[in-house]
Amino acid sequence: MDTHHEHHHERHTESTEDTENTGHTGDTAEAGNAGAAGGAPPAARHHLPSGSAGRGPYVLDIDPKMAGWDRSSLRVLELEPGGVHTLVTGESEWIVLPLTGGCTVHTAGGDTFELLGRESVFSGVSDFAYVPRDDRAQIASGAGGRFALAGAKCERRLPARYGPAPEVPVELRGTGDCSRQVNNFAAADTFACDRLIAVEVLTPGGNWSSYPPHKHDEHVPGEECELEEIYYFEVERGGLGYHRVSPSRDGGTDVLAEVGSGDAVLIPDGWHGPSIAPPGRTLYYLNVMAGPGEERTWLIRDHPDHGWIRDVWPQQPVDARLPLYTAQQQRTTQQRHAGQHPTAQQQDAAHQHTAHPHTAHPKTARPDTDGSSPDPEVAG
């Protein structure tokens, strides 16, 4: 027991929002800072290859200053077995989302959330924890793992909460070779946040997602809202995918990137898509968004040269490989292998979320013309 206690202290790390104002390591991250001042080509400051934008305990650390915008953040934390990390939330709200493994999240306010997590992003949906601004959270993992910390600067302080895996809507979007799966764990109409919007997208090998290309870089009432966006990629079994961002204005974002696991793409503006999965390898990406609008919502506009593809979808079946998994299947598997069951606090949180999913009044998006919600994936 004493050895285990010392083991935790040896691996304890801490971060604060104040550290966001210090420099990042890595050539690409430095190029990104230079690019914000006009000293680097657009692709260099928007595509961050794996390992190029890490800092301290984070293998990826994207904050508003580094990205050159106002709100959206993403950190990827790797913990060794027995590792402990303290997150100081500052002016941002955060979601702790296991990518691999599980963890325990203790907040300064006395909340404790046991996240069962998952084997990988390709194996199932994960539960998650919401940590409000002006708080501290200790993230501890007995077996180790990798955890995404998705954040957004915000104004309101909402309560800390647990996000149960069975409550994550798993949706299939598009058809044919544009079929993909969307895990809407923190979409605007599924989980209450002040500013943060986040979803996961899985694209079967050979398919295109984030298609048709779309944008959300200006405020047009009833048509489009302004959102900063981060794409974080993983590719099954070490493959390579491709991602495109084309300019929506003179001098706008222009990226054609070969992406692998751990890469990120920053999208302050521009038509983004497609994201292309390699044959035989599933492409995963985490979308993190936030914007300045009065309502937490997404409204997107399709590229006028590519929007026709939506008219073809009703004539084609959804890719038979989907769904890759469901939220309930993953939860059952987690509990069977771990020999665990949700804590009473988690059960209460799940009940409250089911009974009152809009407690903090998240705003929903504009319906499409067919009466369905806009594709959560193409909103990002």
Mean pLDDT per 10-residue section of the chain, whose length is 380 residues: 37 53 34 38 79 96 96 98 98 98 97 98 98 98 98 98 97 97 96 98 98 95 95 96 97 96 97 97 98 91 94 97 84 49 47 35 29 38
pLDDT at 298: 82
β-bridge pairing 12-15 and 83-88: parallel
pLDDT at 16: 58
Secondary structure letter of residue 21 according to DSSP = G
pLDDT at 332: 54
pLDDT at 347: 47
φ, ψ of residue 330 to 5 degrees: the values are -65, -40
Which candidate, 50, 7, 4, places its Cα nearest to that of 28? 50
Please provide the DSSP assignment of 271-311 as one string.
EEEEEEPPTTS-EEEEEEEE---SS-----EE-TTTTTHHH
The CATH code for residues 2-355 is: 2.60.120.10
Under a CB-based contact definition with an 8 Å cutoff, are residues 213 and 178 in contact? no
Give domain limits for the chain. 2-355
pLDDT at 326: 87
Q: Is the peptide bond before 212 cis (omega within 30 degrees of 0)?
A: yes
